[in-house]
Structure 1
Amino acid sequence: MEQMTFVSHHHVSELFHNKFIVVLGDSIQRSVYKDLVLLLQEEKYLNLAQLKRKGEMSFEQDCLVEGGCLSLLHNGTEYREVRQYQSAHHLVRFYFVTRIFSDYMESIFNDFRHGLKPDLVIVNSCVWDISRYGLKWGENYKENLSRFFEELNEILPIESLVIWNLTMPLAETIKGGFLVPEISDRAANLRHDVIEANFYSGALANAYKMDVLDLHFHFRFSLHHRIKDGVHWNALAHRRITTLLTLHVADAWGVKLPLNSNARIPVAYQLPAQQIVQRHEAHPPRNNFCPNPARVNGFMNFEAIPPAYWYEDEAFYGSSFHHDPLPYGCSHCPEPSNTHCAACYDWTRPHVMRNRHVRHHYKPYTYHRPGQHFSNDYFYHKVDF
């Protein structure tokens, strides 16, 4: 039975040992933070309630530092939520932001200036920026991106790794907390605006020598893992994001990290094999992305996606997105196939931009960190390790 390939709890825990990770962004980035926090502790997946919940006092032994239910839960641009997970050898912090550069972002930069410098920053801000701050968002967004990247480069040491996540595909019909009634008429155009914004942000991040992870590209044929609101994604998608981020970081730090080919997929995400075969027969293959139904064997995985889902947005994506087919077969697989084993799959795709300077894997913390149970004001003091 073919399984999805993910990084394991053991490898993630070892790679981020004694590392300070900061995640910046919207609700999708919050789920990126949550999946990482969960995987640092055990081999489990997020459930639907954990994906939907925001501003809770505690999630899997983390703590709410600021905003959320400590103040008022709302869907305005002034909503704040700062979370932090701390264990004996890991420190992960999340800031909810609705704009890539603002007075609030300046306050976050002050945390970096006067406190610990993060080893890894995972950041994205797009959908709120292009939907909630006026119709002519282009120039403001590019200007704010430039100010953000420039100031971040000044604050962080050269050893810090910054990964800019490109925004994932939106559906034609969307619902979401950011989509207040005043801008509901713009919902149909947002998926097009996201592609344009991704082009700007990816090019600028690359120009400022940031790493870029193109999640829009990676998930363009995985739209069945997007939930009903057309914006957010399920637990398997977020574990795939964690895998892509972890492998990217390992590559940047010069660490060889194998995939976990024995990952157990929750029953909720399995599809009967007969149903997949029926869909395959109803939608004959049209290019080299066609999976081998005999090897899918009941799983809707990312290496073999039922053709029924490939062309959900074909008119929108166009033929230009049908490029770079996966290699046909490999020395590790017993027969030619477009599905891949963990050993032969090349995760360092050309669509992931690489930074131009070499980073050295290092261990900045030399002292034992205090216990994880602390008061909210402890967040603002420097932690001795």
Structure 2
Amino acid sequence: MDQMKLVGHHHLSKLFHNKFIVILGDSIQRSVYKDIVLLLQHEKYLNNSQLKKKGEMSFEQDCLVEGGCLSQLHNGTSYREVRQYQSTHHLVRFYFVTRIFSDYMKSILRDFRHGLKPDLVIVNSCVWDISRHCLKWDENYKENLNKFFEELNEILPKESLVIWNLTMPLAETIKGGFLVPEISDKASHLRHDVVEANFYSKALANAYKLDVLDLHFHFRFSLHHRTRDGVHWNALAHRQITTLLTQHVADAWGVELPPLNANIPVANQLPVHHTVPRHEVCPPRNNFHRNPAPFMNSKFNPLPYWYENGPFQQSHFTRDSLPYECSHRPMPSNTHFGDGYKPCPYVMKNRHSRHYFTPYTRYRPGQQFSDEYYYQDVYF
């Protein structure tokens, strides 16, 4: 991660143009939501206060829809927090959940069933599930995962992309809001339980043909970016998560991103975090409210991103060119994806065609773009 290439504001804003994104999960998923919302507006990093704070009325022009400081801030399993960021061409929503399948999760799924269908769902729920709800978590967690994936597949259209994030590595000694004194005896072996839970959830998500992003694998050598509580991560780690998600989504949607920013200057942007020093890290083992008003107000720009900023000119495209999706792989050699373009085989699934505007795809002359054509099914 020290020499990583990161996505920027222009990558995220173009890729998520006219998309509805839902993020479900715990405090780490909330920070994932915050980093996405921040990067959609500014080329900045989260600071310590933004990472630690929960339930605030507003974060970077978003709004608190439900729970949080509107009710009572606490560390119980009944804590609720629903946040939403809405702009002219972006809609991002976050639900704080402490259990992957419950009465509250059923109410969230009802929102999807009867309301606006998300284009992208980023979800994880593990640490609270295996520590706060029952002594023997394994069978209960597996059953709830199965119910959640089954209902999600039934409710969402086949065009929706669902990414199951695997839980990130926990430290040997941890402390956090979920770790109340009543379950302090679980802290010593919770990191091993997370590995077991990740193994099962990954297999089950794959069985339901959902995408999997293995954050535990990606951050196994980046433990110095974990904060001192042994659970949460600093701003640089969360920007890397956003980068991984962006690259994954772009691949799933058949989009080639512009070159990522290498060696991005962060000295004046990245706040100082109280992270675990590198020398203290053990070496690795060898072996709206809920029914949002329509938010697409302005007319779409029919020209793709490449026409304005990219290296490709209009002469590179023919009149009969069509947008390519992941389901058409391998790509023909005359496309800008190149002969060597291959999907990532262990996390990606075949995608169905998406029937609305994506700003990176190719422009077909004579095609008329209008709000009514692309969003005729989402207005209430």
Q: Same fold (TM over 0.5)?
A: yes
- State the match for 1:367 in structure 2: 371
Matches within 5 A, 1:202-281: 202-257=202-257, 258-266=259-267
Deviation at 1:4, TM superposition (A): 3.5
Matches within 5 A, 1:93-108: 93-108=93-108
Instruction: Say whether 1:130 aligns with 2:130.
Output: yes
Q: How many residues in Structure 1 have an aligned counterpart in Structure 2?
A: 308
CA distance in 2, matches of 1:120, 1:63: 20
- State the match for 2:139 in structure 1: 139
- State the match for 1:340 in structure 2: none
Q: Given that residues 47 and 271 in structure 2 are in contact (C-alpha distance below 8 angstroms), is that contact kept between their aligned partners in structure 1?
A: no
CA distance in 1, matches of 2:207, 2:379: 35
Structure 1 range deviating more: 61-70 or 257-266 = 257-266
CA distance in 1, matches of 2:270, 2:103: 41
Deviation readout 1:170-224 (Å, 9 max, x if unpaired): 0000010000000011101000000000001000001000000000000000000
Q: Given that residues 20 and 119 in structure 1 are in contact (C-alpha distance below 8 angstroms), is that contact kept between their aligned partners in structure 2?
A: yes
Q: TM-score, normalised by structure 1?
A: 0.75
What is the DSSP-based 3-state SS (H/G/I as helix, E as strand, rest coil) of the residue aligned with 2:201? Answer: helix
Q: Given that residues 66 and 83 in structure 2 are in contact (C-alpha distance below 8 angstroms), is that contact kept between their aligned partners in structure 1?
A: yes
- State the match for 2:21 in structure 1: 21
- State the match for 2:282 in structure 1: 312
CA distance in 2, matches of 1:240, 1:361: 30
Q: TM-score, normalised by structure 2?
A: 0.76
Instruction: Say whether 1:113 aligns with 2:83.
Output: no
Structure 1 range deviating more: 358-367 or 195-204 = 358-367
- State the match for 1:341 in structure 2: none
- State the match for 1:31 in structure 2: 31
- State the match for 2:8 in structure 1: 8
Q: Given that residues 98 and 128 in structure 1 are in contact (C-alpha distance below 8 angstroms), is that contact kept between their aligned partners in structure 2?
A: yes
Deviation readout 1:77-111 (Å, 9 max, x if unpaired): 00000000000000000000000000000000111
What is the DSSP-based 3-state SS (H/G/I as helix, E as strand, rest coil) of the residue aligned with 1:82? Answer: strand
What is the DSSP-based 3-state SS (H/G/I as helix, E as strand, rest coil) of the residue aligned with 1:217? Answer: helix
Q: Return 5+ residue gaps in structure 1 as ranges.
A: 272-299, 301-305, 321-345, 369-381
Deviation readout 1:301-340 (Å, 9 max, x if unpaired): xxxxx9847x6153xxx323xxxxxxxxxxxxxxxxxxxx
Residues 133, 366 of structure 1: alpha-carbon distance in 2 compared, 3 angstrom cutoff: farther
- 320, 340, 347: which one aligns with 1:353: 347
CA distance in 1, matches of 2:268, 2:6: 17
What is the DSSP-based 3-state SS (H/G/I as helix, E as strand, rest coil) of the residue aligned with 2:91? Answer: strand
Q: Given that residues 3 and 264 in structure 1 are in contact (C-alpha distance below 8 angstroms), is that contact kept between their aligned partners in structure 2?
A: no
Amino acid at match of 2:261: N
CA distance in 2, matches of 1:79, 1:262: 40
What is the DSSP-based 3-state SS (H/G/I as helix, E as strand, rest coil) of the residue aligned with 2:6? Answer: coil
- CA-atom RMSD, angstroms? 2.6
CA distance in 1, matches of 2:44, 2:64: 22
- State the match for 2:177 in structure 1: 177
Deviation at 1:230, TM superposition (A): 0.3
What is the DSSP-based 3-state SS (H/G/I as helix, E as strand, rest coil) of the residue aligned with 2:94? Answer: strand
